[in-house]
Amino acid sequence: MCGIVGYIGTKKATPILIDGLLKLEYRGYDSAGISTLEGTGISNIKETGRVKNLSESAGISDLSGTIGIAHTRWATHGKPSRENSHPHLDNSKTFAVVHNGIIENYSELRKFLTDNGYTFYSQTDTEVIPNLIHYYYSKDEKDDSEKFLRAVRTACNDLKGSYAISVISKLYPDEMIVSRKDSPLVIGLGNNENYIASDIPAILSYTKDIYLLDDYDIAELHNNSISFFDKNLNKIEKAAKNIEWDASSVEKDGFDDYMIKEIYEQPRTIRETISSHLKKDEPCEFPELNITKEYLSGINKIFFVACGTAMHAGLASRNTFEKLLSIPTEVDIASEFRYRNPLIDEKTLMVFISQSGETADTLAALALAKQKGAKTVAVSNVIGSSITREADYTVYTHAGPEIAVASTKAYTSQVVLLNILAIHFAEILGSYDATKLNTFKNEILELPEKVKSLLDNTDTIKKFATDIHNEHDIFFLGRGFDYPVALEASLKLKEISYIHSDAYAAGELKHGPIALIEDGITVIGTITDPNLKDKTISNIQEVITRGAKTFIVTNQDIKKENYNFVFDIPETNPLVSPILSIVPLQLLSYYVAKDKGLDVDKPRNLAKSVTVE
């Protein structure tokens, strides 16, 4: 959702800040703003709409300050407007603040400040922060070098809710203060310059040495130093982490959009995810997990909890866990999970799947699981994200930064990783035939090549996309392992093409949805499980009889002449077929959206990481 970038150094801050904001555009936003220190004051420029509007705004090219903060806002309190966009200044224009998160007690704080003579010019929760800082700064009689830091700390102590903030002040022309609680913030170490950002991709082309802040940590940045303090302003030490992500991974590399680039990256991202845990003829390895045979033998349930595509990755992997481990495995939507008093205890293994690691509902579900004493594992793509700090253990997908709002490469990495995790547990428990397990491992090792072969052959998909791009309703069907694929394909299509679509377990069709099938309607089916093939074919026959136009993704021997379009995928173990069958359907949504002339990377109303519940 909102994005933060900051720079302190010797170069002109504005181009670096604008570049960082552009790298964060994928998160979704509706306005953008920038503050730099210029001479003896703070310059503050904001625009609604795209970062491009801000970069072309009057006066922006005159900014020459070498310290600045910038922000992309996704409206929560107050409509998208210049007044409501960040940075926000206090009444005396001494402090400028950018903020991600939500201040839950902002009405109380606003009242307190209004009673003390402050005026508010926006409807945001954020505007209380610079004014509170000013309030505490002016009340502090001690005039030492920590006065600015102290004012920010004391103001933060009053905030309830979540925040990642960065503050600059005209009184401190070579200093920036940052702090966080429940919202991400990283600091990038440079050479005689330092950076801050809500997300690593914003600053990856400047530095790969990143400090991660813990909740309530506060940091004081200068050109050539960074000092860290805890909640009580005791100095603490932190070590920078070197981030392996390649700076070019946040560029489009000649592709038209990030989404298509990320779809084409999948052979590599799947390979990298596999190779971290699985090598030919060796037991799987998860050194980051300390899960013993004794523990696994004692658990009564495994639970996957996540949202959206990540939840579909859980659905696509559940059967593997049940088959290899014979342990009941459930999947739930994070926003529902905690409101149904879930039956979990210390014998439940809870797996939370989140690409960004910042999804508010998933984090809240994780907190509940911990309260109930369950062991928690995070599956995340972002090093140091909130979920990785909260869970007992973390395993990382190695998908690299995913910029397009619609998740593609993160999904396939999640499904691959979860399948390998199931094998790892089966090896610990000895719960599945070793020879069959070995064959399954070899099939996983072949996946990158198989995905590559799919991507080399996209003509049918492009043709079919053009054929359907003006439609209003599309149905996806699948049974067994093909059902989560139908759900995920349908989600992908609606989020980027804005075509209404529904996904059904093929056997459910005649219990209601078949009433919607009429002449010419498009039905997309996936058939990859030999045991369910005949049944799915019968269900698809039922829609053909009622006039449906069909597109089938399959690796089974079917009578192709019965369908309008057929896309062949390589054979594989049905347990991992969702990794192959989703790829042509990702491409289908991409080409449909392109045919409609839509912005595939930034679909309307959506944000890349959903940090509100």
| Active site residues per annotation | 2, 608
Q: Which CB atom, from 34 or from 368, has the smaller least distance to ligand F6R?
A: 368
User: What are 237's two structure tokens?
Assistant: 């030490």
- Name which of residues 88 to 127 contact ligand F6R (CB under 6 A): none
When the beta carbons of 407 and 501 are compared against ligand F6R, the nearer one is: 407
- At residue 346, φ and ψ (nearest 5 deg) are -70, -10
User: Are 240 and 189 a contacting pair, CB within 8 Å?
Assistant: yes
Q: Quote the least distance from Cβ 405 to ligand F6R, whole Å.
A: 6
Site for ligand F6R in 252-311 (CB under 6 A): 307-310
Least distance between ligand F6R and beta carbon 352 (Å): 9
CA distance to 196, 447, 460, 554, per residue, from 456 (Å): 40, 14, 11, 17
Strand segments (E) across 286-382: 301-306, 329-333, 348-354, 375-380
Length of the chain measured in residues: 613
Q: Which of 100, 162, 413, 609 binds ligand F6R (CB under 6 A)?
A: 609
Least distance between ligand F6R and beta carbon 603 (Å): 9
Non-local (6+) Cβ contacts of 425 within 8 A are 291, 296, 321, 324, 325, 431
Q: Which residue, 261 or 533, has its beta carbon nearer to ligand F6R?
A: 261
Q: What residues from 368 to 427 belong to the interface with ligand F6R (CB under 6 A)?
A: 406-407
Distance in angstroms (rounded) separating the CA atoms of residues 524 and 310: 22
For residues 522 and 474, is the Cβ–Cβ distance under 8 A?
A: yes
Closer residue to ligand F6R (CB): 461 or 607: 607
Q: Which C-beta is closer to ligand F6R: that of 176 or that of 487? A: 487
The angle that helices 409-429 and 577-595 make with each other, rounded to 10 degrees, is 170
Minimum separation from the CB atom of position 607 to ligand F6R (A): 8
Position closest to ligand F6R via CB: 308
Contact status: 329 vs ligand F6R (CB under 6 A): no
- Binding pattern to ligand F6R, positions 353-372, x when CB under 6 A? -xxx--x--x----------
Closest approach of Cβ 7 to ligand F6R, in Å? 27
Considering only 113-121, 348-356, 365-373, 392-400, which stretch makes contact with ligand F6R by CB under 6 A?
Answer: 348-356
CA gap 411, 57 in Å, rounded? 38
**Which bin fits 77, alpha (ψ -120 to 50), beta or left (φ > 0)?**
beta
Cα 569 to chain centroid, rounded: 28
- Type of residue found at 283: P
Q: Give the C-alpha separation, 171 to 148, whole Å.
A: 9
User: Shortest gap between Cβ of 184 and ligand F6R (angstroms)?
Assistant: 12
Q: Is 495 in the site for ligand F6R (CB under 6 A)?
A: yes
Residue 415, phi then psi, degrees to nearest 5: -65, -40
Three-state DSSP at 610 gives coil
> Which is nearer to ligand F6R, 220 or 358 (by Cβ)?
358
Q: How far is the CB of 316 from ligand F6R (least distance, A)?
A: 13
Question: Considering beta carbons, is residue 43 or 356 the nearer one to ligand F6R?
Answer: 356
How many residues sit close enough to ligand F6R to count as binding (CB under 6 A)?
A: 15
Up-side HSE of residue 44: CA atoms within 13 Å toward CB?
Answer: 20
Considering only residues 135 through 194, tell me which ones interact with ligand F6R, judged by CB under 6 A: none
Binding site residues, ligand F6R, CB under 6 A: 307-310, 354-356, 359, 362, 406-407, 491, 495, 609-610
